[in-house]
Structures are given as structure tokens and as C-alpha cells.
Chains A and B, each alone.
Chain A
């Protein structure tokens, strides 16, 4: 009687009370089930079968159903279920294939009621009909499901899944006749209890066994399934074909799934292996669990919500021999620990950036950074106010697109193709490369080449003309040399200013110094301006504006020039636009210090100012006509190379390294060189510049690099007759004993170099083919193909 009153209160006001607690069981649990009064729970396992009363402060053992002298296998439970209509009725599934029902109302100590021994293999699951008092369903490893009427001695009907083992069976809560069953081969079947001959519907839900399923308590059509493939899927069964409406990816195979009462989108899962926690997911937010219970020390084997209308109490049993009651409010919320910031590059150089909204909001006072040239796009999902997500952790996402064309790396490709790296005197190489760079609008680089030439090849002779050429208002050579070094160190890509600047200062040597210090100053200024975070600023407006879909913010400020371009001209007040340098795509990347970057980053990096920590001491004297040995500069040149590499223009670093060869190589440590080489080769290969990359490999002096050419040089051939690989020799097939490669000209076997036409695949000795094609343009085999030899 007392019990009854409790039930009514529980049902009435949701007055369940309790706390997070656990009690120790004597043995690992396999399954648990709650009585409908929400005050008792039954725990079953291989060697445990007990009923506990759930009290406010603790679990109290009420009844041990495992009686008898010799525990029989019938008591080794794989599953247990408590009838939701009759609180005296329980059923268990035994590992030996027996289904047992228990009547707590029996006066004797042994409460065992009926024994069904119809299944041949382990019974994985038993399930009572939600409203019918006498109907029990079981699913077994032998592939059969059986429906029992408890008033009869044996099963009423048998359903054959026509496939492997049944892992779970569940009566539909709303649909009187329907039940779902899940199988080891990944299928889910829907049955009508009246039609045992064939299933109503079948579909493949998972890859690998489907361990569990659960009907939504409110929504008629929804079925959640969990599988070994670590997924929980929610299916809408009302449509003609079962439709997957939600999918949650967990980190381990899903052993149980249970919808959370009163929360339409929540479900609890526990896993079969490795992971011991219980998660409550919001299916609409499938990546981060809404709540997590971490009490268990071994895998959780059974979970049950304590009351069908109370979402805050969850009970669980585990292999670690404990029974737990979890309170939802005590759950840990992974969302709180989630990192709401993220940064990612797209395939084409787009950049997505997500930041915590609160973070963004605090900076809302700052004005947008004016220097950005990109078109930022912002998305923001409209939040459903009814959802518990609000205020948890949501990030604002912004996406920066690359301006069309700005990401183009044509300069890189052109440069790579046209640079001359060897085979001519140094002076010519430098001139050539300088010319290439200039033609591509890379004046800075052109300057550098010119400087190198001056340093290393007979300074003072040809230099004047060269400089005139490049500088426009050329003058003596020593001074500009210095100057451009400084400036280059500061801000690459400033070709025009540099030139102008220098042309002004070229007459007085002290201008140089003055000038450079000025540069330093401005650079510092730049850095300050730079400090404000670009994307964050942009975000502000949008966080407030509740737009649903992503919308594009027109780049109003996009045309303002970057401050870093406004470099050191006190003497030159006018700022002019630089047209010849492609704008770099990303600001966020400007701290990139590795030369191992993709092309567009390299580009971007070369635009931005460097820290002004460069030492200018070494060049403080005038160098007019002094014949300083090239060694004098080597430190500087090395710094220069490092600078380029740091800026991402590893192309320049490597090219100079190759061209100068021994002259600088010893000053840069082997590892750095190797690093540059690999980065450059990687870049070249990404642009499919195989020839150039091969040339670079060949010309490299680093052993680790030059051996790249010697790796995987094996060519596997298949026999042209039987199409099988020729293992031992390249010219005769072991299988069909025929010579595979005959020369089309002399009809002898080719044992050495075999050249063949890629069009008609005829070929032969290299010499023969060459000779033949000098005289004729047709294939020597007479196939009529117009072969080409190049």
C-alpha cells in the first residue's frame, strides 16, 4: 500500500527525489530494468539477479532471485525486463537460450514462474508488450524471435529473421502490433506480431551488428538504433522508406540506447567496449554530448531512465559491479570544456575561423580593421531559443575567401620554369634570374639577384649599367646596394618605394642610415596597427544581427590600403598604390615562420612587415669602391636567404643557394638547407613541375636530397601477351615463354633501353627508333600511327 502511494506521487508531481549514488553489487551486471513505480530496479548478470529498492540516499537490496543450491545456467542472464503494466512480472533471457519469467507475487522463496526452452542459442533480448499483460517477445542468437503468451506453455509464434543473430527486439510503444528487431548483419526489421511469415519491412541500418534499438516514447515514427560501427542513427519509419533523420557518431560501439523522457531530442547511450561513460546526446547536435556520466570504471552494460516521465534520473549497471543512479544536474557537460575556437584552410586557400561568441562580443567596441582586402563571409546559425544550446558554447564562424586571382601562383610557376640555376657563369645566371623576376613584377627579388651579382662577380664593372637598368635613376653601386638590403629586410615587395627612396638618398651616404632607422620606426608603428585581430573585428556586427543563413558582408573597407604598405617615406609623403604585387590572401597567416607553406601563404607572407629586429650594423660604413671580398657579405647573404625562407619564399632561398653553390653553402647549416630543399621540391611537385623539381634535386648538394632521385626507380612491366607481371627478367615472360619486348625495327628482343610510342605502344631499341623516325613519320610496326620522337 505504501508502495502504491509512492507511485502516485511519482506520477503526479514528478516528485522523484534522490541523489547521485551508487552501490556495489557482488558481480558484474549485464542488464538492468526499472519497475514502473520507479522505486525498484532489477539487476541481472551472469551470477547476479537481485532487486534493489531505490531510496533517497541509497540502494537497498530487497530481494535475491538467485536461489537454489546449485546455480543453474538458466540464471545466467543476458537480459532482464520488468513488465511496465504488472509490477510483479519479470522476464530474463539466459545465455543458454532459456527465457524465464518470474512472478514476485509467489509466496515461495523461488519466484521462478515459467521456463521457455525453445531457443537453441543465447537469447539476447526479451521485451514485454507495453500494454498487453501476457505478451513476451524474445530475440536470440539463433536468428529467431519468439512471441510467448504467458498463459500458455510454449510460444505462440516464431519469427525468422532469415539471417544471422537477433540482437535486440522492441515493441513499438504507439503501434500495438508492431515490433522492431535488429540483427548482427546490420539489418533492422519491422514485424507485425500477427504475421509471423514475413517481415513488414527491412532495411540495412548499420555496417556490422546493430546492438540495440529504442522507439521514441512520443514520436510514433522514430526509432533509434546503435551499432558496432560506433553510430547511433535515428530513423523516421513513418515514410515509405525508412529515412535516417539523425546520426550521432560516438567513439565506441554502441551497446544500449535509450530515449530520454520528456526531451524530444535526447537519448542516452553506453558503449560495448573501451569507453565506460554514459552519454546523453542531443541528436541535433551530434558531435558533442549534451551530458556525460563518468562514474563507472568498467563498461556500462545497462541503462534505464528511472521514470518514464522524469528526465533527470538515470540508472545504470556496469561490469565493474556497481549500480548507479545519475542525476542529470550532476552530469558533466563536455560542451563546457569544448574548445570553441577553430581555424581551417580550405582547398583553395579559403580560411574559416570560428571564435567564441562571448569573446567576439567583448571586442565589439573596436572598429573593423581596415587593411583587409578579402571578402569575408559570415555564417551564423540561427539559434532556436527553445534549445538548451543557448549560452552553452556557440561560436561565430567567419569564412574568408580569396579574392579571385589573388591566390594565383602563376608567378611561382613562371619563376620556377624560367629561372636558370646552372650551366652558365654566375653573372649570367644572376642577370637572367633578375630579368625573370622583373618581368614578373617582382622587383624586390630582381634587386636581390642584381645584388648577388654585384657581390660575387667583379664588383664595379658591369654593375652600374645593371643598376641603371633596374633602378631607373641609377647611380653608384655601393650605396644602393646597402640600401636595398636594408629595405628588403624590412619589407619585401616594396620595389618601387625602395627605388625612389634610394634614388633620393644615393648621393649622401648618411641618408642611408637615417633612412633605415626611419624604416625601423615605421615598422614598429605598423606592428601596433596590426595587433588588432582582423576576423574578430569583423564578427561583431553579425553576432548581434540574427540572420539565419549565411550572408555575405560586402567588403566596404576592403579597399583601404594596408598600413604595411605605407612604409618608410618621410621624405616621400605620397603613398601610391602598388599594383605590381599580388595581394596576399591571409592575414592570420602572417606569423607563419615555416618556409614549408603553400604557395598562397608564401605570397601573403611576403607582403607583411617583419619584426624590425634586424641588425643594420654591418653596413654602417660606406662601401663606395672598396673591394671587399665576397666573403664579407656571406653573413648578410645568408641572413637574406633565411629571411626569404622565413617569409615563405623558399623558392628564392633555394634558387640562390643553388646558383651561388659553394659560395654560401658552408655558412648555412645542412639541416636548414635540407629543409628548404624539401619544402621547395614539395611545392614544385604540387604544381606538377616535375622537371624543375628534378633539376633541383639534381643540383642540390645535400646528400639527403640528391638521393631522392635514386629512390623507387623500379619499373614494373607486365607481359604484353598474357598481361601478367614479369618477375625475373624484363624481356621474356615466365608464363607464356614469349619475348615481350621486340624491337619494331630490327625484330630482335630489346634488352636494354626500350622506347615506345605512347600513342600506338609500338617501340624498340632507342637507336633504331630514332633512326627510323628521322626518315619516316609513321610507326615502324606499320600500324599507321604517326609517331613522334622528341
Chain B
């Protein structure tokens, strides 16, 4: 019971979940404690992040070099737990926002705002509202989509699909945008926009997935900032706001349980890596496994069933979202399980037929030069990033685990790898993790601290951030693949 609306009341900048609200209504005297975590993330104790930061001069250097805002924002701080990755992330982000590209600077930020608004990510919106104004954007546009030129507004459809159901993008959408006319997009512009959209959808996943706090010192409000709202209820934070606390209050059984969980996971990984041939699944079996995983992801409803409340249940909520929704149309459009769409049975995306390395890269780099290399490096980096550790264990080959995470995200977007046994996903990813993955990639705005804490209890925070990075990049790649495939089809 987490996604809650409500007045940004006593609990400064934190939403109250419906549960708490009920309690609050009953008992007006209840005291709402201030959120206990400060620092860049609501999920991760400040000292974890800060500790890593002080060690790292490299991060500061990177921020100076590539940050658009010129300071160490919370995202960067959390990402700096993985400096190697941070570099390629900042570089590609800097390139798409600041360097030569087909789109004018304010447009880029506006597109970022549109993308973030699909997930009601006020953190990113605020950040880019500032940047938008700084780069000379027209303030009037910030009043909502009705105020922007038709050309930008046309991007709305693709933004919506890309964010929630990228598999629905067809070459007709592309044709509509690029066909000659008053408001047409050139292909390079469109590719730039698509890259930006995908980047910010995915980044919104990271922001929610890692519980990024609003920037502590927002500059003087320019009137367009949204009230910074975190979607975590104070009860999340108060209940078990840091890991020590959790393990103390959570029964001893919990520790034992999670310890053995970890051992078991490592065991399974080893088994998968070691002997694979002994039980060779038949092809039919493999196909069914993928289908099963796809279907199963259906039932991995994010968090609790409360989320399926119709919108009317969140009337208070609407006040907040309406603030965001001025940047989007059709706010009700959300992720729909790929497996569920019975009526219009779209074929599964065969990863081997349109890969990033072979096809996506070539197209993107052709139309928006050099971004391909940067994205390529970033994907490669995140896919190969490993410290060979798992929780307290060292010298672990985490390849299978990372691949399972990556492919599971793609699976939810209907992308299938012929050479992957989706049975592995089932063995490696526990249910609570699947819930978390699904929430973060499909409905990031519903992520709660409880979800974040409930999986992999023994793991370090930096490892969970690593998971978030994987999820973010996998999602970005999936969106890009669909969009680029549509563009390719339009071209041929």
C-alpha cells in the first residue's frame, strides 16, 4: 500500500501512503517523523554513498568535465558507487544534451521533461526545467504541452509508446513524424529525440529504483518547478530505513533465511555455469520457458495489488500528477504486459534479428554521429561491469546473474534471445526481486523502499545500485531497439 497521493503535508516532500493516511485520518495526533535518511538517496544510508565519494577524486573530475548542471547531483552521487560506469554515463548524457546534435539545446531539455513526465518523475523534471530555462527555452512552454510548437507536441505519441509499450511502435508512427510537411522531423532529429526519450525513461527508472532524493538546495523557484515529491511514504522510511535497523528489527530468522538464500543462489549460479548439458531442454521446452517467463511476469504485479486501484481512488493523487501531466497527454496510458495482449498478437521481437551491435548501432551512428559509440560503450560497460563479488563473497563469476537480469527486462518488453534458457531467470531471480525489477522498469513511479529492501538482503547497497544500472540500461536498449527497428523499416 504505497503509492499514495495526498497533500504534501506534514511530511515534507514525502507522500503518505494510503495506509498511513487512513491512520492519520483516524488519529489526528499521530506524529509523522521526519524522514531519517538524508543524502542523495532515500533507500541508501547517506554514509554509504558519501564514503565512496570522498575516496573518489575521479568522480569530481568527471562531474566537472561532463555534468551539465555543474554540480554533483544526487544521481551522480549514487552512480559514483560505480565510477567506471559513471564516466560512460555522463559522457553520453553530456553528448546528447550539450554537444553538436540536430536538436537545439532547449528542445533537448524539453524532450527530457516530456520523457520524465511519463513516469511523473519530478526530480528529473525539475532538473530539466532549470536547464531548459538556462539554455534559453521559452518559459511559456513550461505551462504545458498546449503551449509548445506542434512539432514537439507530435512527439507525444512516440513518447507515450516508448515509455510504456515500445513494441507498439511501427513504421507508420515514424512515417507520420517524418513525412514532409510543416511540422516534420528530419531523421537525425528524430533519432536524437528518440535517444533522449529512451535515456530519460530509463533514467526515471533509476531515480525511482534508487530512491533518489530531491536536490537539497533547490535554487530559487522559478515558478515552474514542481513540488518535489517522493513516492515513498514516511512509513517506509520510518519502519526500516536502514539496513542495520532492518536486520535488527527483522527477526533472526530473517537473517538466517537470507543468508541461506544467498548461498543457494550462488549454488545455482555455479551449477548453471558448470554443467549445462546434462539436461538439455528440448526446443519446445525452451520456447515454453520464455512464454512462461513472459506470462509469469504478468502475475508479478508490482508490489501489492493495491496498485491496480483505478485512478478514482487516488483523487488526491491527481492534484499532484496534474502538475506533471501538463507535459503529457493520455496520462492513463501505462505499461501493459506484453504477454497479455491477446487480441493483436504481435510477434516476439527476436533479438538476433535486430541486435544493438549489428543494426541499432549502425543506424544510430549514421543519423546522429558518434552517439552510437558512446551508447555502445555504455551498454558494454554496464553488461560487463563486475567486481567478482556477491555480498561478502569474492571471486564470484556473476555473468549468469547479470545476464538473467538483463534478459529478464528484455523479456518483459517482448524481446527474446534464441540462445538464452529462460529457465535460468526462474532459478536465479527470486520473486521479490522480480517484483522489484518489474516495478522499476515498468512502473518506476510505484517503487517503494520496502520493495528495494525486500530482495537480496545480504547484498551491499552498491550491488543493488548495480542492479539498477543494469535495469536502466536494459530498458533503454529495449526501447531503442524497438524505435530503431521501426525507423529501419521506414527506411527500407
Chain A residues within CB distance 8 Å of chain B:
46, 70, 72-74, 76, 78, 94-97, 117-122, 141, 184, 208-209, 211, 228, 252-253, 255, 272-274, 276, 297-299, 319-320, 724-725, 727
- Give B347-374 interface residues, CB cut-off 8 Å to A: 350, 352-353, 357-359, 361-363, 366, 373
Q: State A727–B282 Cα separation when bound (angstroms).
A: 64
Most buried by A among B352, B359, B373, B488: B352
- Inter-chain CA distance A299–B359, complex, in Å, is 11
Are A96 and B419 in contact, CB atoms less than 8 angstroms apart?
A: yes
The CA of A76 and the CA of B286, in the complex, are separated in Å by 14
CA distance A320 to B488 in the complex (A): 13
Assembled-state Cα–Cα distance A255/B359 (Å): 10
Q: How far is the CA of A184 from the CA of B383 in the complex (A)?
A: 14
User: Distance (Å) between the CB of A77 and the closest chain B CB?
Assistant: 10
- For chain B, what secondary structure do more than half of its interface residues adopt (helix, strand, loop), or is it mixed? helix
CA distance A74 to B285 in the complex (A): 13
The minimal Cβ–Cβ distance linking A78 to chain B, given in whole angstroms, is 7
Query: Nearest Cβ distance between residue B58 and chain A, in whole angstroms?
Result: 15
- Taking a contact as CB atoms under 8 Å apart, the answer to whether A72 and B284 are in contact is yes
A208–B362 Cα distance when bound, in Å, is 11
Known: A94-B418, A727-B70. A73 touches B286 (CB 8 A): yes
- Beyond the given pairs A209-B357, A724-B64, A725-B70, 20 more chain A to chain B contacts, judged by CB atoms under 8 angstroms and listed by A's residue number, are A70-B283, A73-B287, A76-B352, A76-B418, A96-B418, A97-B418, A117-B277, A122-B352, A122-B418, A122-B419, A141-B419, A184-B357, A228-B361, A252-B366, A272-B362, A273-B363, A274-B363, A298-B492, A299-B492, A319-B492
What chain A residues lie within 8 Å of B282 (beta carbons)? 72
- The answer on a CB contact under 8 Å between B376 and A208 is yes
Residues of B within 8 A of A (CB): 64, 70, 276-277, 280, 282-284, 286-287, 350, 352-353, 357-359, 361-363, 366, 373, 376, 418-419, 488, 491-492
How far is it, in angstroms, between the C-alpha of A652 and the C-alpha of B352 when the chains are bound? 66
Top 6 closest A-B pairs, CB basis? Answer: A72-B283, A95-B418, A273-B362, A96-B418, A95-B352, A97-B419
Most buried by A among B282, B283, B363: B283
**CB nearest neighbor in B for A251:** B366
Q: Assess whether B352 is in contact with A78, with CB atoms less than 8 Å apart.
A: yes
Contacts of A74 in B (CB 8 A): 283
Give Cα A120 to B277, complex, Å.
10
Q: Whole-angstrom distance between the alpha carbons of A70 and B373 in the complex?
A: 40
Residue of B nearest to A28 (CB): B353
Q: Find A117's partner among B70, B280, B353, B373 (CB 8 Å cutoff).
A: B280
CA distance A594 to B350 in the complex (A): 56
Cα A120 to Cα B64 with chains together (Å): 42
Would you call B362 and A274 a contact (CB within 8 A)?
yes
Chain B residues whose C-beta falls within 8 Å of the C-beta of A120 in the assembled complex: 276, 419
A228 / chain B contacts, CB cutoff of 8 Å:
357-358, 361-362
- Chain A residues with CB under 8 Å of B284's CB are 70, 72
Q: How far is the CA of A72 from the CA of B359 in the complex (A)?
A: 25
Q: Assess the A272–B358 pair: CB atoms within 8 A.
A: yes
Write the nearest CB–CB distance from B442 to chain A, whole angstroms: 27
Which residue of the partner chain A has the closest CB to B283?
Answer: A72
- Name 14 A/B residue pairs within 8 A (Cβ), A-sorted: A72-B284, A73-B283, A122-B418, A122-B419, A208-B373, A252-B366, A272-B359, A272-B362, A273-B363, A274-B366, A276-B492, A298-B492, A299-B492, A725-B70
CB distance from B485 to the nearest CB of A (A): 11
Q: A274-B362, A725-B70 are in contact. Are A73 and B277 (CB under 8 A)?
A: no
Most buried by B among A46, A78, A253: A253
Bound Cα distance A696, B361 (Å):
48
B354 to chain A, nearest CB (A): 10
| Chain A neighbourhood of B350, CB < 8 A | 46, 95
Interface centre among A73, A78, A118, A320 (most CB of B within 10 A): A73
Q: Is the CB of A297 within 8 A of B366?
A: no
Contact A95 B491 (CB under 8 A): no
B283 touches A273 (CB 8 A): no
Question: In the assembly, what is the distance between CA of A305 and CA of B362, in Å?
Answer: 26
Q: How far apart are the CA atoms of A70 and B285 in the complex, in Å?
A: 12
Complex CA–CA separation, A276 to B282 (angstroms): 37
Residues of A within 8 A of B352 (CB): 46, 76, 78, 95, 122
A211 to B358, alpha carbons, bound, how many Å?
9
Question: A297's closest neighbor in chain B, by CB?
Answer: B492
* Smallest CB separation, A472 vs chain B (Å): 58
Docked pose: A73 CA to B286 CA in angstroms:
9
